[in-house]
Amino acid sequence: MDSIVIHGGHRLNGSIPVSGAKNSAIKLMAASILTDQPLLLTNMPRLADTRFLGQLLRQFGVEVTERDGADGQETLFHAPELTSTFAPYDLVRQMRASFNVLGPLLARTGHAKVSLPGGCTIGARPVDLHLQALTAMGAAIELEEGYVSATAPKGLRGAEIEFPFVSVGATEHALLAAVLANGTTVLKRAAREPEIGDLARCLIAMGAKIEGLDTDVLTITGVSSLSGATWSVIPDRIEMGSYALAAAMAGGQVRLTKGRADLITALTDKMIEAGVEIEPTDDGLIVRRDPTQRLKAVDATTEIYPGFATDLQAQFMALMTTAEGTSVIHENIFENRFMHAPELARLGADITVHAGQAVVRGVEELKGAPVMATDLRASMSLVIAGLVAEGETTVGRVYHLDRGFERMEEKLGACGADVRRIKGEGDEH
C-alpha cells in the first residue's frame, strides 16, 4: 500500500492548476446512462473514484474512452444499448456515489438491481431519501440481501418531492431520474451545491427541461429521450480550497489557476480573517502568507452550500493547529468527521473533540510522525500539516487521497514542497 512522505519546512511558490470537480464528474458520468448518444466530458479528473465508476458503467455496456483532447483530459461515454442493469457489491462498495446509477438505469430501462453503497466512514449517510424520491415517482422497490431491486415497467412519473432536510446525493439522484419521467417533478428543499448546477446544466444541454437552477426548488419536465452533448466539468472547489490552505500553512505565494474563487468564498473569508492574503484572479486566486507571522485562530462552522463546506473542515483544522489562540470548529453535516483529530495530535496538535465540536488550541510547531489517513479529506489535512511539521511525516492509507486528489505530489512538488510517494505492496480496500 502506498504512503506519502513529507519533509516539512519548505515555503510554497508557484502555480497549481485546479482539476475538474470529482463530485461533479461522477454524477455527470452517471448521466451518460440516460442516453444512447455519446456524452463527451472535458476537464475530466483522473481519479480512483472516476476509474471505479468507469468500471461500473462498463458493466452496463457503456463504452468509456479516456483520451487527451485539445483542452486537456476528456472522456467519451456512449451507451447505445445497456446490456446489464445489475450493479454488484464489489464495484459499488468502493464509492458511495456509484449508488446514483440506480435512478438513471430505472429511468431508461424500467428496472435495476444495485448494491447498497460503501465509501468513506465519516458518518451514517442512509439512502432513504434516494429511495423515497424514486418511490414517489412510481418505482416499486425491494431491499434484499444488501441490494436494492427497483422496477417501473411503465416508466417513472412526475411527482412533488419535498426533502425533510437538504441532501446533495438525494437531490442529484432525483434529478437524474426525473428528466425522463412522465410529467413534471418538483424538488423542494433541494441542495444548491455548484456541482448540482453543473449536472443540471449538462442535462439541459442534453435536452432536459429544468427550471430553478441554483435555487432550492427545481422543476423538471420530463422528456421522452435525451441526446448527446459535450460538457466541461466545473472546477473542483474542494481541491482549490485544499491547495489554498496548503499555501497558507506553508507560507509563500501560490497562484491557483483553472478555478473559480467565487466557489470557496466561505473558506477564503475565514482565511482572510486568520491573516492570509487572498487575491481573486480571472481564473482562480493567489494565496500569500508570510510564514514568519503566526496566523490568528478563527472559528468555523460547516453548513450546506453556500456555507463553509464540510469537505474543507479537516484541512482548515490543520491550518488552525499552529494559529495563535484557540479556534472552535463545529461539524454540522456529518457526525463522525473528526477522525483526523487524533492523527493531527500525533504531529503535536492540541485538539479536544466533544460530539460535533473540536477545540483547537494553536501550538507553535508541529513535529513529523507516522500518521494514517481515515478518509478522503482527512488525508489531505495530514499532508497540509506535514508541510510545516519538523522532520519527516509519513501518511499511510493514501488510497483515500487518490480518490479525490489528482497528482497531488506533483502539484505541491512543483511549488517547492518536499513530498514524495512511496510505492507499497498490496491494497487495503
Confirm whether residue 419 is marked as ligand binding. Answer: no
Beta strands in 54-166 (DSSP E): 63-69, 72-78, 86-87, 111-115, 140-144, 147-151, 160-162
Closest CA to 152 of 106, 194, 186: 106
Confirm whether residue 96 is marked as ligand binding. Answer: yes
| DSSP type of residue 372 | E
CA angle 239, 101, 219 (to 5 degrees): 85
Confirm whether residue 53 is marked as ligand binding. Answer: no
| DSSP type of residue 337 | -
The secondary structure element, H or E, covering residue 359 is strand 357-361
Q: What is the dihedral of CA 25, 30, 190, 330, to 10 degrees?
A: -50
d(CA 339, CA 122): 8
In angstroms, the Cα distances linking 256 to 13, 237, 238 are 11, 11, 12
Confirm whether residue 126 is marked as ligand binding. Answer: yes
Answer for the pair 210, 175: CB distance below 8 angstroms, yes or no. Answer: yes
Locate 364 and state its grid cell. 507553535
Confirm whether residue 22 is marked as ligand binding. Answer: yes
What strand order describes the sheet that includes 39-42?
63-69, 72-78, 39-42, 229-232
* Helix, coil or strand: residue 120: coil
Confirm whether residue 88 is marked as ligand binding. Answer: no
Locate 339 and state its grid cell. 477522525
Instruction: Based on the residue annotation, tell me whether 120 is a catalytic residue of this protein.
Output: yes
> Hunting for cell 458493466 — which residue is that?
59
Closest CA to 18 of 199, 315, 231, 233: 233
d(CA 12, CA 266): 23
Answer for the pair 223, 208: CB distance below 8 angstroms, yes or no. Answer: yes
Confirm whether residue 27 is marked as ligand binding. Answer: no
Confirm whether residue 91 is marked as ligand binding. Answer: no
Written as one letter, the residue type at 306 is P
Q: 28, 62, 105, 120: which one is catalytic?
A: 120
DSSP letters for 174-236: HHHHHTTSBSEEEEES----HHHHHHHHHHHHTT-EEE-TTSSEEEEE--S----EEEEPPB-
Confirm whether residue 58 is marked as ligand binding. Answer: no
Confirm whether residue 62 is marked as ligand binding. Answer: no
Please enumerate, by residue number, every residue annotated as part of a binding site for UDP-N-acetyl-alpha-D-glucosamine.
96, 125-129, 311, 333
Please enumerate, by residue number, every residue annotated as part of a binding site.
22-23, 96, 125-129, 311, 333
Please enumerate, by residue number, every residue annotated as part of a binding site for phosphoenolpyruvate.
22-23
Supply the residues annotated as catalytic: 120
